[in-house]
Amino acid sequence: MIDIVITIVLLVALVKWVRDPKALAIILVAFGARMSLVFYGTYIGNLPGAGIDTVYFYNSGVASIITNPMEVFRYFELGSRMYIWFLGLLFSVFGESEYVAKAINAFLGTLVVYNSMRAIALLGGRKTAIRFGVVLSLWPTLILYSSLLLRDSFVIYFASIGVLNMVRWSVSRANIRVVFASIAFLLATSLHTGMILTLPASALFMSYVIFSERRRYSSKRAKGVVAVIMLGSFFAVALLAGVGLQKFRATDQIELETVVEQQVGAARSRTAYLQGKNVQGATDIVIQTPVRLIYFFFSPFPWKVSAVSDVFGALDALFFVILMVIAVVRMRKDSGNVVRRGLCLLFLLSSIAFALGTSNYGTALRHRAKMLPFIVVFALPVRIDSSKHSKAR
């Protein structure tokens, strides 16, 4: 009974939230696709991607159930334990319902599509947002990983809010948007270390946009400098608090050895790539980063497809190839467009942590989905003109 009630509540929330009829149709398709997989994965059979991690999260969530409201933060920790803490609270209220937890993930996954559409509309107009919304609503990995009992939906949701507010800042230069983006990226980083570069990447994006303006001195530039300082302060405080350093041995330092261990541990099974090509110093990071970014986004390569499951990954890689081609073509045509180039910088820098820590395309398939809100805002097949949408907030 509770499953039906939660589904109806989430559906009504979407209908109330989205006012545009065409956008609502896309959002309902996105939600329906995700909830179909939630139902199948809960009551009929296992979905691809369900396994050790999903069982771990469920069992840990059950073990984190509280009976005393005063102990609400008893199991709170950063990283994957933060999602477990949420599951514990959820199970404390609704019982040990796997369906409810997955339904919330599906709901957030649907909002990722909506947030991305809103960001695209600000830069490329409503029609472009509708077209990309259709693509995102049916993007296979986004559907799959927002239908499983994983933290991915939360990470991507907060990332999409961060990107939306960065785009809004580029349009309005309202510093409150920087605050919202910083909070969103901090929450994403709190859940997953791979998002640790989103804040410094945002600061570089803002700096690039600010200092590429024609006017050397202006109130907009002054406000922008204040915003960059503010964002840098957010990042510094976060690092001091250990946010984003969950996978490092000590929360007060970033060790190269930990990056190497992550690469070695990730280079497992037949889907592994770049085995033995581990970073040994700063020079290796500079050399390997472009290579690992290519493998991260475009593997498995066609000649590596050897099983039916690889076809799914290859199709996902093909989608990314298409997005990248569109982005490169449009960047050449809009060579003087500061916002597009800045958003490209934001996307690439935010992707580096995931690319460096991933050494098999099974994991890459899951993690690169987290970068979709970043890439779609600059891979638009139209000229980006933020000025004509400046009234949109």
Dump pLDDT digits (tens) for 337-352. Answer: 788 888 888 999 999 8
pLDDT at 390: 45
Give the model's pLDDT for residue 220.
67
The pLDDT assigned to 223 comes to: 73
The pLDDT of residue 388 is 47
Q: How many residues does the chain have?
A: 393
Residue 361 pLDDT: 85
Nearest to 124 by CA among 326, 308, 393, 379: 379
Give residues with Cβ within 8 angstroms of 27, minimum separation 6: 14, 18, 110, 113, 114, 133, 137
* Cα separation values, 293 from 53, 136, 274, 275, 299, Å: 25, 22, 12, 15, 10
Q: Answer yes or no: are the C-beta atoms of 256 and 281 closer than 8 Å.
A: yes
pLDDT at 252: 45
Q: What is the per-residue pLDDT for 249? A: 47
pLDDT at residue 113, rounded to an integer: 96
CB 56 within 8 A of CB 153: no
pLDDT in tens, 316-370: 999 999 999 988 888 887 766 788 888 888 999 999 888 888 888 888 888 999 9
Q: pLDDT of the chain along its 393 residues, tens only?
A: 789 999 999 999 999 999 899 999 999 999 999 999 999 999 999 898 888 899 999 999 999 999 888 888 888 988 889 999 999 999 999 999 999 999 999 999 999 999 999 999 998 888 999 999 999 999 999 999 999 999 999 999 999 999 999 999 988 888 899 999 999 999 999 999 889 889 899 999 988 888 876 655 566 677 778 888 888 887 888 777 777 666 654 444 455 555 555 555 555 566 777 776 766 667 777 888 898 899 999 988 888 887 777 888 889 999 999 999 988 888 887 766 788 888 888 999 999 888 888 888 888 888 999 999 999 888 877 666 555 444 444
Q: What is the pLDDT of residue 155?
A: 96
Give the per-residue pLDDT at 250. 47
- Phi/psi region, residue 244 (left: phi>0; alpha: psi -120 to 50; beta: rest), is left
Q: Can you give the pTM of this predicted structure?
A: 0.90
Nearest-angstrom CA–CA distance, 108 and 110: 5
Quick one: tokens of 177? 């948007």
pLDDT at 90: 95
Nearby residues of 9 by Cβ (< 8 Å), 6 or more positions away: none
Return the bridge partners of 360, or none. 272
Q: What angle do CA 167, 124, 130 make, to 5 degrees?
A: 105
Q: What is the pLDDT of residue 232?
A: 83
pLDDT per residue over 206-249, tens digit each?
888 888 766 555 666 777 788 888 888 878 887 777 776 666 54
